Every structure is written in C-alpha cells, then in structure tokens.
C-alpha cells in the first residue's frame, strides 16, 4: 500500500515510538495522521508540529468502547477514511505474582494490564477495520493494514512481567486468525515486537543502566533508533506480501531474567 495521503491511526502516538512514527509517516511519507492518546497536551503539540490539515488528535481511552468509537468517528469526519491502524498504546505494569510478604497480586492489577494491552488493541483494531472495509481496494488488493505492537517480552519476559509479557504474547496470537479472516476484505494484520529502543524515557536513565542494557544487544551493540521502528512500520505498510507476521526488531537482544 502506498503511504502518500493515506490516513493512519496511531494509538499511543503522543510519545515515544508512536510519536516518532507519526512524524516519520507524515513528514517523510506524506501520510495523514490521527493520534489516539490520553495526553491532551502532548497530542495537541503533535498536531501543531505536523499541521492541523494533516493531523488530528483525539483524547482516547483505548480500553473503553465508547471512547474509541468516538475517536474513530472523529477521524471519519475529518479525513473520510482510515487506511492503516498502528496499535502502540500500552501499560508496562510491572508486578510479581507474589509480593515480598508472599501475598498474591490482586487480580485487578492483572486485569488492568490486559484491559489496555489486549482489549484495547482489539477494540481499536476492530473499529478501524470496520472503516477500512469501505475503502476502494488499492491495486485491486488492499483496503487496509493493521500493525499491532508487541514486545520482546512476549518471548522472554522478565521477573515481574507476567501481566505485561502475556498481554504482548496475546497480540502475536491475534495475527494469524485476524489475517485469515480479514484477508478476504483486503486487510493485512501484522505485529512488531520491539526490543530496547532509545526513547526519551530510556535516554533519561543513568548511564550505568544504559550501558547494562546495551550489553544485552548483540548487533549492533546499541539501543534501537526510533526511526528504525518507524521505518519498519513503513515497510509493513508498503509490502503487500507481508501478512500474519511478527517482526522481532531488537538487534538479536535477549533480556536477562532480571
């Protein structure tokens, strides 16, 4: 699918990898961007930077059905179509199965993680795909593309990541059944499992911690550049034969247990 003038929804697009991708796809690929995020101030800033004619921000709780429907309706009102959905909104929510006193973690903490990281992904994906189905197929094949953001933790979760790792593994599990179902209407579904990236949050870490993280990356021995994630999104969108796949984007990093 050509990216120029396509409408791309990015959840969690007001910060980190989502923000970098919004700028890359808008400024270097000519896309129109819709940001779904909770951070009103940051979201408005993105629109100001990209330009109100090519960007939209809607304050959105991805775990809430009405909130997502309202956001999708706003995109359709402004741009009249949705071609790509990138689901990046997530909560890390680190906690152990048993606390220091040997007490079980409250189920509510686990449920809060899955509400955002699994339910939220399905919620946005399904409502965006409903609109993609109305698009004229490009080159007689494609009406839309979905990219769901997983994590290296889906494969090698660390101690304290039961909720996060399982929620990210669930995203990978969505790929094949969703791709098989939606392929009939010309929608592809893929995932990216990013490793350690030099986001603003990572850049603020102590130098010793950063060096420790770099040691876990095989080659190149550094944290990922956010543009490399953005470029991977563009590759998936543009290559019509990539479907039902999860791309591990991590420099062959395999994190230690702690």
Instruction: Read off the pLDDT of residues 136-184 as tens digits, 9 standing for 90 and up.
Output: 999 999 999 999 999 999 999 999 999 999 999 999 999 999 999 999 9
For the entire predicted model, the pTM comes to 0.96
% of the chain at pLDDT higher than 70: 100
- pLDDT tens profile 214-233: 888 999 999 999 999 999 99
164 is known as an active-site residue:
yes
Of 24, 155, 164, 241, which is the active-site residue?
A: 164
Rounded to the nearest 10 degrees, the angle between the axes of helix 162-182 and helix 120-132 is: 20
All structural domains of the chain: 7-249 (3.40.50.720)
Position 15 confidence tier, pLDDT thresholds 50, 70, 90: very high
Flag whether pLDDT at 61 surpasses 90. yes
The whole-number pLDDT of residue 93 equals 85
Terminal CA-CA length for the chain: 40
């Amino acid at each position: 699918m050509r990216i120029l003038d396509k409408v791309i929804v990015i959840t969690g697009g007001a910060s980190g990898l989502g923000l970098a991708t919004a700028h890359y796809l808008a400024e270097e690929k000519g896309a129109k961007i819709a940001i779904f995020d909770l951070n009103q101030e940051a979201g408005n800033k993105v629109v100001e930077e990209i330009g109100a004619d090519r960007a939209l921000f809607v304050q959105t709780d991805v775990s809430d059905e009405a909130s997502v429907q309202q956001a999708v309706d706003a995109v359709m009102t402004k741009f009249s179509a949705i071609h790509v959905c990138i689901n990046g909104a997530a909560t890390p929510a680190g906690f152990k199965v048993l606390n220091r006193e040997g007490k079980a973690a409250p189920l509510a903490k686990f449920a809060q993680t899955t509400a955002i990281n699994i339910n939220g992904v399905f919620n946005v994906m399904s409502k965006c795909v409903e609109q993609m189905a109305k698009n004229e197929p490009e080159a007689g094949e494609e009406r839309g593309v979905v990219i769901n953001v997983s994590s290296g933790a889906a494969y090698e979760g660390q101690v304290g990541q039961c909720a996060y790792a399982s929620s990210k593994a669930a995203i990978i599990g969505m790929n094949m059944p969703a791709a098989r179902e939606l392929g009939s209407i010309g929608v592809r579904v893929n995932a990216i499992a990013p490793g350690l990236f030099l986001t603003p949050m990572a850049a603020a870490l102590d130098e010793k911690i950063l060096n420790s993280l770099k040691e876990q990356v095989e080659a190149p021995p550094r944290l990922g550049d956010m543009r490399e994630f953005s470029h991977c999104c563009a590759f998936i969108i543009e290559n019509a034969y990539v479907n039902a796949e999860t791309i591990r984007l991590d420099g062959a990093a395999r994190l230690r247990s702690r």
